Amino acid sequence: MDEVIQVTLWLSSITPRKKAKLFFFTTHADAPSPMVGSNDVDTHEETQLPLATTVALHNFKNIDEFLKKKVNTFSCYNVIENEITKTDYEYLRFYSACKYLDVVPPFLDLEKISAIQNKFEMTDEERDYRLLLDSADLVLEKVCDSLKPAGVSQMWTALRKDRNLIRGVKTIDIIGFFVDPNPTGIKECLFFFIVRFLQKADKINRVNTNRLERLIAQCDESSSCEEGKTIDFIIDSLRFYPTELYPFGFCLIMCVIEGRDGAMQEIEKTMEISGHLGMITHTEKNPTKETIELVKKELMKPKYQFYSSFTCWFMSHGDSNSMVLADGETIEREWFLTSFPDISTFQLKPKVFFMVSCRGANKFSLKGDEFEGQSATCDYYDIGSALIRNRMLDITDSVRDISYVQPMMDTLVAYSTILDHLSGRANTHGSIYVDRACVLMSENISRGRSLTEILEHLSQDLHEILQETMDEDRIVYKQACHYDSFFRKTLKLPYTRHPKEDVHSAPQ
């Protein structure tokens, strides 16, 4: 069959709503490496004009032409070995969006997809189409689905009132002031236009969504929300880090085994919980400084920009400032923590570090006969009210900026113990902190809990456990853990528990 006829038949089989979503997902950021301050949207012509004309004319002709052009480009594209191009990104985004929406063209060359994935050095687990979808766009899709056409129309009216923001933007004038978003697919096109416009204007990104939240907050709840949804529910969905679908993120486990009883148990537990959470995992046993540098270099490869979060477990001996590596050398804990968050592939994404080591020799000792022989170390195992806002500073958009981000932002560091104190271990099961953290995370998958809620529960749980030193003094003591957070959103655990056999290991 002629290719033109094939493309025409394919487009005719797609509903207007799915066309709007396919356009939205396909025009996501295609830059090879998302740098802080970079523009995360494509050109004005490609991302906004087709949406604007579709809304104004109630006609999907321009979006159809855009999709035809994409298909033709991919059909003629020759995959060049070793060099990753913008078209490579576009091809993967297009394929994953089609797969997600169940509209994969029967004539799409899947061998080219495989060849592009080879260039990205993707493992079998990383070739899952869900990895290639942008989780932030999936959240925005759900927001759109929660709004009625009237709600999106009210957002548009509120946006049009911001004269400073829309001044001189031709696509705004193409749509006009009054819009009928009721025809099928037009609501989606208008909403996605608003989103891409705010992104292009550097008003929102995957972390900073306040400007979009303010537009939604101005909607009338009775006429703007789909059944079962509320304005608060919709806004709250934007307050979480976007980690939709599988995988939940990339997990790096570094564990010094030499001289640490139970270290293999720590690795098994952290691998198991990362698998249940739906993470793709890589383990480094007995890391050295050279190992750490190689891992950092690996994480800078383009494929890691597709991950929506990063988690690192680092388990070793240590003192107040340093951690002991497998070869006996030490590294400064602060150096380790500040070098990873600056990796560009994970910027604007949540980064969690579990630092499991002693930070000194002090103990919160418990004295008295009742504590003798008792220890676990032996193998017992809103948008605020208007009234308040009227009394506060008026922070205008002119003094807000989302382009430049301090590297440690969106990072959380969880410590197994407080400064200058011991981090306890069981004789054969390793770190008690690791054990309790994995248990609590496993128990709370599918319950809608956030990571910080789990860490607060962990702090309570761990501090109830009596531990005992392994020297001749056999001192009974308690351990206190804590965390430092630079998060700007809430990180929720996934709603789906993945089976144990889903524990994946990505090669270095």
Cβ partners under 8 Å of residue 478, min gap 6: 364, 366, 463, 465, 466, 467
Last residue of a domain, one of 204, 239, 274: 239
**E-only strand ranges, 264-304:** 279-285
Q: Which whole number is the average pLDDT over 392-408?
A: 78
Least confidently predicted of 27-41, 213-227, 310-324, 474-488: 27-41
Written as one string, the DSSP assignment of 331-368 is EEHHHHHHHSTT-GGGTTS-EEEEEES---SB-EE--S
* Closest among 450, 488, 496 to 208, alpha carbons compared: 488
Burial 160-187 (b: 16+ CB within 10 A, else e): beeeebeeeeebbebbeeebebeeebbb
Last residue of a domain, one of 194, 211, 239: 239
Indicate whether 268 and 334 sit together in one domain. yes
* Closest among 138, 103, 96 to 117, alpha carbons compared: 96
Indicate whether 330 and 475 sit together in one domain. yes
In a domain, 376, yes or no: no
In a domain, 145, yes or no: yes
DSSP 8-state class, residue 305: G
- Strand order of the β-sheet with 482-485 is 482-485, 411-415, 351-356, 310-315, 249-255, 279-285, 504-505
Indicate whether 260 and 230 sit together in one domain. no
Indicate whether 177 and 317 sit together in one domain. no
Rounded to the nearest integer, the mean pLDDT of the chain is: 86
For residue 427, what pLDDT band results from cuts at 50, 70 and 90?
A: confident
In a domain, 169, yes or no: yes
Indicate whether 213 and 286 sit together in one domain. no
The answer on pLDDT for 39 being more than 70 is: no
What are the φ/ψ torsions at residue 243 (nearest 5 degrees)? Answer: -135, 50
User: What letter represents residue 306's amino acid?
Assistant: F
Share of the chain above pLDDT 70, in %: 88
For residue 371, what pLDDT band results from cuts at 50, 70 and 90?
A: low
In a domain, 370, yes or no: no
In a domain, 505, yes or no: no
The per-residue pLDDT for 149 is 97
In a domain, 478, yes or no: yes
Indicate whether 145 and 280 sit together in one domain. no
Indicate whether 332 and 201 sit together in one domain. no
Indicate whether 258 and 216 sit together in one domain. no
For residue 324, what pLDDT band results from cuts at 50, 70 and 90?
A: very high
The per-residue pLDDT for 434 is 93
In a domain, 491, yes or no: no
State the residue range of the domain holding 105. Answer: 3-29+43-239
Most confident of 127-141, 335-349, 443-457: 127-141
Indicate the number of domains in the chain: 2
Full-model pTM: 0.85
Indicate whether 334 and 456 sit together in one domain. yes
Q: What is the pLDDT of residues 479-499, one digit of tens each?
A: 999 999 999 999 998 877 776
Could you tell me if residue 102 is left (phi over 0), alpha (psi between -120 and 50 degrees) or otherwise beta?
A: left
Q: How far apart are CA 144 and CA 138, in angstroms?
A: 10
The answer on pLDDT for 286 being more than 90 is: yes
Indicate whether 230 and 305 sit together in one domain. no
The answer on pLDDT for 429 being more than 80 is: yes
Indicate whether 129 and 253 sit together in one domain. no
Q: Which residue reads 């319950």 in tokens? A: 447
Indicate whether 340 and 201 sit together in one domain. no
Q: What is the pLDDT of residues 122-134, one digit of tens each?
A: 999 999 999 999 9
Last residue of a domain, one of 221, 239, 257: 239
Most confident of 163-172, 349-358, 474-483: 349-358
Measured in whole angstroms, the distance separating CA 405 from the mean position of its chain's CA atoms is 16
Q: Residue 423 sits in a domain of what CATH number?
A: 3.40.50.1460
In a domain, 382, yes or no: no
